[in-house]
Structure 1
Amino acid sequence: MKEFDLKKRTKTFTISILNLVDSLPSKSSTRIIVNQLGRSGSSVGANYRASLRARSDNEFLSKMNIVLEEADESLFWLEVLQDLNFVDNNTLKELLNEANELTAIFVTTLKNTKTRINTK
């Protein structure tokens, strides 16, 4: 069973993304991906932690929407890497799976929070 501690999972995801971008070949096209994926992938963990310190439900929703956007952007860049065949498929498959799972978790979290707020 996968770890459900999202602080730990998002930090591990960030580290995995940073390791991946460090391993990419130095080409013009990969520099773009390195910058974009490095930023979005590292933002997932940082913004998730920020969401945990939210002072209100609305602030939490705002921060979690950023987390969701960054996770989805990371997923996009991972898919681009997959299409370009720059990375070992096993490594990429694990990151794609984790990005998909995290995105689904964040979507569910946002929906549940909105439902809870609307039923107060």
Structure 2
Amino acid sequence: MDRVKISIQERTENFAIRIVKAYCQIKNDSHFDDAIMVLAKQLLRSGTSIGANVAEAKYAQSNKDFIHKYSIALKEASESRYWIQLMIKSEIIPVQKMKLMLEEVTNIINILTSIIKKLKAKER
């Protein structure tokens, strides 16, 4: 099966939407306690910030500014992966519910890393 290529902008926006939906689902599930809500809010912040920084990069003032925005997006993606892994390892959320999100954020990290490396190499 052919994999459809989507832009990093669309990929990070889709990821943010999945994060928002997961957060709402967690919030609406009455048996979750304060610990899961703190983790969920952290994931909401970092997971939606990835796409926001990628979107900001579209209007970067320079190549250096563009790299900076993508670097922030990369850091936020790494943080999101951390929160997802923490939720899985602490058994707060079943691994089946977070597995696809974990795979997607790892793909985003790989793509952003590749883009940043290529852009930095061009600067030299």
TM-score (norm 1): 0.91
**Unpaired segments ≥5 residues, structure 1:** none
Is the 8 Å Cα contact of residues 51 and 60 (structure 1) preserved in structure 2?
yes
Shift of 1:90: 2.8
Shift of 1:2: 4.4
Pick from 51, 58, 66: which aligns with 1:60? 66
Pick from 15, 18, 21: which aligns with 1:19? 21
Shift of 1:92: 0.8
**Unpaired segments ≥5 residues, structure 2:** none
In 1, Cα distance between equivalents of 2:5 and 2:95: 23
In 1, Cα distance between equivalents of 2:51 and 2:114: 17
Deviations 1:70-110 (A, max 9, x none): 00000000001111223243331100000000001111111
Deviations 1:50-81 (A, max 9, x none): 01211211101111111000000000000011
* Equivalent AA in structure 2 for residue 66 of structure 1: I
Q: Give the structure 2 partner of residue 74 of structure 1.
A: 80
The root-mean-square deviation of aligned C-alpha atoms, in Å, is 1.3
Q: Greater shift after overlay, 2-11 or 67-76?
A: 2-11
Identity of aligned residues (%): 26
In 1, Cα distance between equivalents of 2:4 and 2:99: 16
Residue 31 of structure 1 aligns to a residue whose secondary structure is helix
In 2, Cα distance between equivalents of 1:10 and 1:117: 25
In 1, Cα distance between equivalents of 2:78 and 2:113: 10
1:48 aligns with 2:58: no
Q: Give the structure 2 partner of residue 110 of structure 1.
A: 116
Runs of 4+ in structure 1 over 6 Å off: none
Q: Greater shift after overlay, 74-83 or 15-24?
A: 15-24
In 1, Cα distance between equivalents of 2:15 and 2:116: 20
